[in-house]
Amino acid sequence: MKVVIIGGVAAGPKTASKINRLCPDAEVTIVEKGEFLSYAGCGLPYYISGVVKEQKELMATPVGTVRDSVFFQKVKNVNVLNRTEATAIDRENQTVTIRRQDGSEALLSYDKLVLATGASAVKPPIPGLELGNIFSLKGVEDAEAIKAKLAEHSAPNVVIVGGGLIGVEVAEAFVETGCRVTMVEFLPNILPILDPEMAILVEKYFNSKGVKIMTGTKVTGFGGENNIVNKVITNNGDIAVDMVVMAIGASPSTNLAVDCGIKIGPTRAIKVNAQMQTNDPDIFAVGDCAEKMNIITNEPCYIPLGSTANKEGRVAANAICGIDDQFPGVLGSTVCKIFDFSVARTGLGTQQAIDAGYDVVTCLAPAPDKAHFMPDAKPLMLKLIADRKTGKLLGAQAIGLGVADKRIDVAATAISAGMTVTQVANLDLSYAPPYAPAVDNILTAANIIRNKIAGAMEGITSKDVKAMFDAGEEFTFLDVRSPGEIEQMRIEGSLAIPLGAIRTSLDKIDKTKPVVAFCKISLRGYEAALILKQNGYKDVKVMDGGILMWPYSKIMG
C-alpha cells in the first residue's frame, strides 16, 4: 500500500508514524513544503522569549532526538521529501504532482492520500502590509525572523494586531525581551474564547504587566519610511511602532483540495467524516486544514489545535489500515499561559449556548486553588455554563494565578460524558491541602449552579450591575465584608454592612428597592441574601464572583 501525506508538521507525521506501526509494509511518503518537520508550533512564542533555548528542542523527541528526515527514514520507515511542494492532485489517476526546490517536477502515485496541509496566517488587504518588520508567527522561519529583529535591539515598540491565543502568548515574549507592547483588537474584548466578563479581567492583568490593550479598534493601514513600518494607523489614532506582529487568526490551507474537487465545509475547512475521510474515500484530511465537529451541538466548527491534529492523525491511520475508529469531535478545550496567569476553557460559552437553544444558567466562582491556609494558595476565577432544564454542564472557563487546567480537564471530561452539575458536584476528586480545597473549585461552582436551578439563589453578573448603575436605577448594592476588608477596597456606591450585623441593621436596607449583595467572592453575599429573604425582602440577588471579579474602575481604597 502506497500512502502519500501532504504536510509534515503535526498531523502528517502522527499519521505516518501510526501507519508504520500498524502496517510496516506500507510505503509512506511525507511531502513537506518547508524545511522543518514535526515541530511544536505552539512552542514558538517560548522560543522567541528564550524559555526554549534552541530551535531543535521544538523538533526533538522527549529524549532529545531531532525528528528530521533521517529520523523518520531510519526509525519510522517513512520517506520524507521536505522543501518539496505538492502542486496538484489527480484523483482519477491517484497521483500527486510535486515540485522540488530546484524547480523540477515529478509524480507520486498513491493508494491512500492524507491532506495535512495545515493553516496559514490570515493577511487582510490592509494598505502597507508589505512593509518591512511586519511579521506573522506561523512557523519556525517566522520565529527566527522575529528573534533576529529582537537581537538587534531595534524593536522597543511592538504592536500585536489581534488578541487571540497567538497574540496573547507572543505578547509575554516581547515584554520579557524588554519591548513596549500594544495589542490592537477589533472585537470588544481580547480572547474571544472567553466570555466578556472573564476576558476583561485578563485585559486588566495585561495592563498591570505594562501591555496596552486597545479593543474595539480597527487597523486601517500601516505607514513607513524607507520601506520599513513606523506606524500603525487605526480608527482610534496612529501608533508609533518598530515592529508589528499580525496575529488575527488562521485560515485552513485548502487550495489543493479545492482544485481537485474535494468538498469544503461551511467553516471553509475540508469536510470530513468521523474517520477523517473526505468525499473521496481514498483521501483523508487531518489537522488544521480539516473541519471539526462540536461534540455538544453536533455542528461543524473550526478550532485548529495541535492536540486535535495528533488525535485526528491516529484516527486516519487506523482507518487507512482497516481498523474501525472514529474521531468524536471537539469541545475546544484550550489553555494558555499569560505571564503568571492561566487562561483555560472548554465547551460552549454563554452566547454560544444561548444560540444553540439552551436555557442557560451560569455562575462565577472565585476561590483559592488549594486549601486557603496553604502559603502557596493562589486565586482562581472559574465560570460554569449549564442547561437549566436538564442540569447538564455545557462549558467552563478559568483564569487566574491558580491551577486552571485540571479544573477545565475535569469539566471537559464531564461534558463529554453528558454529566449534570449534580453529578459534577458529587465527583470523588482527590484532596489534600497542598493540591486542592476540601471541596474543589469546580465542585463549589457546580453547587452554585444547583442552587440557582433550585431557586435558592438568584445571581447577577458584574456587567449587569454596572448597567444598573449606568442607567441610574435605584437599588441597594450591599457589601457584607468586614470593616477591615472594606477599608482596603470598596466599590463606589455600595452600602457596607458586615454579614454579622445584617439582622440588626434591617432598618438601613430599603425593602422597596432591589438589593444586590456581595462580598469578596459572594459566599457571604449568598448568606446575606438568604437572611434578607427570610425577613421579607422580595427582590434580592447575589453578584456573581464578588469584588474579586468586579472589573470596572469604580473601586476606591
Residues 469 and 446 in one domain: no
- Residue 556 has what pLDDT? 42
In a domain, 95, yes or no: yes
CATH code, domain carrying 264: 3.50.50.60
Residues 412 and 310 in one domain: no
Domain range for 274: 2-119+251-320
**Quick one: average pLDDT of 148-154?**
80
Q: Provide the pLDDT confidence category of residue 148 given band limits of 50, 70 and 90.
A: confident
SS3 446: helix
- Residue 73 has what pLDDT? 65
Which of 229, 248, 267 corresponds to the end of one domain?
248
In a domain, 112, yes or no: yes
**CA 424 – CA 451 distance, rounded (Å):** 14
In a domain, 126, yes or no: no
In a domain, 328, yes or no: no
Can you state the angle between helices 196-208 and 462-470, rounded to 10 degrees?
90
Which residues in 420-533 belong to E strands, given as ranges?
A: 459-460, 476-479, 490-491, 495-496, 515-518
- Residue 445 has what pLDDT? 96
Q: Provide the pLDDT confidence category of residue 74 given band limits of 50, 70 and 90.
A: low
**pLDDT tens-digit map of 237-266:** 999 999 999 999 889 999 999 999 999 999
**pLDDT tens-digit map of 434-478:** 999 999 999 999 999 999 999 989 999 988 999 999 999 999 999
Strand partners, 237: 234
397 phi/psi in degrees, rounded to 5: -140, 145
In a domain, 167, yes or no: yes
Residues 352 and 288 in one domain: no
The number of folded domains in the chain is: 4
Residues 439 and 510 in one domain: no
Residues 490 and 443 in one domain: no
Write down the catalytic residue from 42, 289, 363, 519.
Answer: 42
Residue 68 has pLDDT above 70, yes or no: no
**Cβ atoms < 10 Å from Cβ of 142:** 17
Residue 65 has pLDDT above 90, yes or no: no
Percent of the chain with pLDDT over 70: 94
Residue 152 has pLDDT above 90, yes or no: no
Residues 240 and 139 in one domain: yes
**CA 77 – CA 164 distance, rounded (Å):** 38
Does this model's pTM top 0.85? My answer is yes
- Residue 55 has what pLDDT? 67
**pLDDT tens-digit map of 485-538:** 988 888 989 999 999 999 999 999 999 999 999 999 999 999 999 999 999 999
Cell of 156: 522597543
DSSP labels, 192-223: TTS-HHHHHHHHHHHHHTT-EEE-S--EEEEE
**Mean pLDDT in the chain?**
91
Catalytic residue flag (residue 42)? yes
In a domain, 128, yes or no: no
CA dist 395 to 195, 379, 408, 434, 548, Å?
11, 20, 9, 27, 21
**pLDDT tens-digit map of 7-45:** 988 899 899 989 999 999 999 999 988 776 656 567 777
**pLDDT tens-digit map of 410-431:** 999 999 999 999 999 999 999 9
Residues 433 and 377 in one domain: yes
- Residue 557 has what pLDDT? 38
Residues 103 and 18 in one domain: yes
- Residue 555 has what pLDDT? 46
Residues 185 and 278 in one domain: no
Residues 362 and 436 in one domain: yes
Residues 543 and 507 in one domain: yes
